[in-house]
Amino acid sequence: MSDKLLYLASRVANGVFSFATLAYLTRTLSPDQYGKYAMAITYASVISGAFYGWLAISVGRFFYAYERLDFQKKIAELFLITSGIVGILGFLGATFYLKGYSQQEKLLVVLATVTLAGHTISLQFANAKILPLIYSFQAISRLALFLALAIIITSQGYSLSLILGAFIVSCLVPILVRPQFSYGKPSGSMLGVGKKLLLFSVPLSMTLISTVAIDAVGRYFIHGMLGSAAVGGFAAGYDLAQQSMGAIMNVFFLAYYPKMVAKYEAGPEEAKESLPGLLKALQTDLFFYGAIQFCILYSAATEICAILLGKEIAPSASSIIGYVSLGVLLNCMKAFYFDVAFMLEKKTWISLFIMASMVVFSVVFNYALISIFGVSGAGFTLVLTFGFGVILSWFMGRKIIKFPNSMPDILRNLTLTLIACTICAFVSEDRVWLALAMKISAVCAVFGSYFIYARWKRSLPRAG
């Protein structure tokens, strides 16, 4: 419980700075300027996940399988090799995805990709070592520093190059202050380890970046069909949902996954005894708290966007945030719960197949629906794509490990969601803050009542 609370506190602080940054930039930048910034950061995130994600996953999965100092040196060595590849291929990809950007801006996006990857891997080392305080420091300090630098830069005028420079600095400083990498030549026992990590983790890394990759597909089509200004509204709504719902849902995964790996590595008997309980606890937390967040984002989209976002961007963002939040919820269920089967059993090629299927699905439906419904078409596509991914991951994952029965949790939370959203629909209040407070109170009352009832029911003595 203490680890979960520490990660939760970290995520709350991250959320505060993320929302503050989102609010500041959407108020300071025009929709077109914010759209260009969002496209650049999305590209950096996708390339970082695609090329370095396997290293971050390897840290979480194999940290306890090798001698720790040697393993850290091996990861650092592989990171430097990968960075050389990214320097070339990342820049070439930027010329295709970031049309209309200067050569300097493209180069800075590539540097942002490398530094973001270094920061992410450093966080994974802290998590694998079960050091939530260091994890929290590195995560929070990056966001806080970027916000401070963005305020200084934009107060002097708009410059995408300087904003990207601030992003790079904010990734570098935390890992230099509390470094988690170890540099040097790894011992001979690490020969061949890189290939093993690659074969295991590359397919899985493709899965874990599915949220960003599929979002990037939507932004690409919006940018090409409707322009950068339209990307600004979609990106603001998506970032708002992802930074709130995705970040909090990740808390539970971070709290449970290292324990699952430790139990699994302890042997079949230990895994058989402990894994079902951990899976059930993870399922309960993800589904219940995910439903709460979805209810709030869906029911209070207009009020939340009016408060957090700039006036030019808020209307378009609020129009798609309901679809986006449902898509994010579905993807969290897939990535943080059903995909655990592929991680533990090292059958990550299945994840790669699912990810490829989802990308193809996303490309087809984005092209078709954006041309008909505009930006809303990208929101529809997110729901359809991630729903498709959940079905595939559940169907294939259940053949590998036995999941606890999910249907009671799904039906119960669906019922609570319908009740809460129905109540919120009757809230009529012109004052934005009061309307938001009333809707959040209604959602919390519905789910809180069930939570109290469930705790009371569990406390009753069982017959026999």
Q: What is the pLDDT of residues 421-431, one digit of tens each?
A: 999 999 888 88
pLDDT band at residue 1 under the 50/70/90 scheme: very low
| pLDDT at residue 390 is higher than 70 | yes
SS3 of the chain: helix, strand, coil, percent, to 5? 85, 0, 15
Query: Which CA distances in Å does 327 have to 148, 211, 358, 425, 446?
Result: 31, 9, 13, 21, 23
Q: What is the pLDDT of residues 180-193, one digit of tens each?
A: 666 666 655 566 66
Q: Which of 217-221, 283-287, 398-402, 419-423 has the lowest mean pLDDT?
A: 398-402
Q: What is the pLDDT of residues 320-348, one digit of tens each?
A: 888 899 998 998 888 888 888 787 777 77
Global pTM exceeds 0.85: no
**C-beta of residue 233 within 8 angstroms of C-beta of residue 313:** yes
Gap between the Cα atoms of 334 and 208, Å rounded: 9
Identity at 34, one-letter amino acid code = Y
Which sign does the torsion angle of CA 219, 211, 43, 144 carry? Answer: positive
Minimal CA–CA distance to 123: which of 80, 75, 163? 75
**What pLDDT sits at residue 164?**
93
**What pLDDT sits at residue 464?**
45
Q: What is the pLDDT of residues 224-268, one digit of tens each?
A: 888 888 888 888 888 888 878 877 787 788 778 877 777 776 666
Q: Which of 209-218, 368-377, 439-448, 453-462 has the lowest mean pLDDT?
A: 453-462
Q: What's the average model confidence in pLDDT over 303-327? A: 89
**What pLDDT sits at residue 407?**
83
**What pLDDT sits at residue 211?**
64
Q: Which of 83-87, 216-220, 340-344, 419-423 has the lowest mean pLDDT?
A: 340-344
pLDDT band at residue 121 under the 50/70/90 scheme: confident
| Percent of the chain at pLDDT exceeding 90 | 28
| pLDDT at residue 214 is higher than 50 | yes
**What pLDDT sits at residue 463?**
46
Distance of CA 2 to the CA centre of its chain: 23
**C-beta of residue 131 within 8 angstroms of C-beta of residue 2:** no
**C-beta of residue 121 within 8 angstroms of C-beta of residue 75:** yes
| pLDDT at residue 457 is higher than 80 | no
| pLDDT at residue 409 is higher than 80 | yes
Quick one: how many helices (H) and strands (E) in the chain? 18, 0
